[in-house]
């Protein structure tokens, strides 16, 4: 494999845009860890809303419709 050669990384060209994206991912991960420590209940509420909305959207794609409250009660039980 080329990646194990000693000069591979020296010759590797990484575009500045990609470096910026990697930096933003690192910053976001740090913020996520901070939220986990400071506001775990808020993250849990966001997770539950995402699960409910994802289920609602998935069902809608399959032609199944149900009231938001009905989906919420099914998922939470």
Could you tell me which residues come within 8 angstroms of residue 42 by beta carbon, excluding any fewer than 6 positions away? 35
pLDDT value at residue 60: 87
pLDDT value at residue 36: 84
pLDDT digits (tens, 9 = 90+) for 17-66: 999 999 999 999 888 888 888 888 988 888 888 998 999 889 889 998 88
Q: Residue 75: is its pLDDT beyond 70?
A: yes
């Amino acid at each position: 494999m080329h990646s194990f050669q000693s000069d591979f990384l020296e010759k590797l060209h990484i575009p500045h845009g990609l470096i910026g994206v990697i930096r933003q991912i690192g910053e976001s991960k740090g913020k996520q860890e901070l939220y986990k420590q400071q506001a775990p209940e808020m993250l849990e509420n966001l997770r539950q809303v995402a699960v409910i909305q994802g289920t609602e959207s998935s069902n809608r794609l399959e032609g199944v419709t149900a009231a938001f409250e009905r989906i919420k009660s099914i998922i939470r039980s």
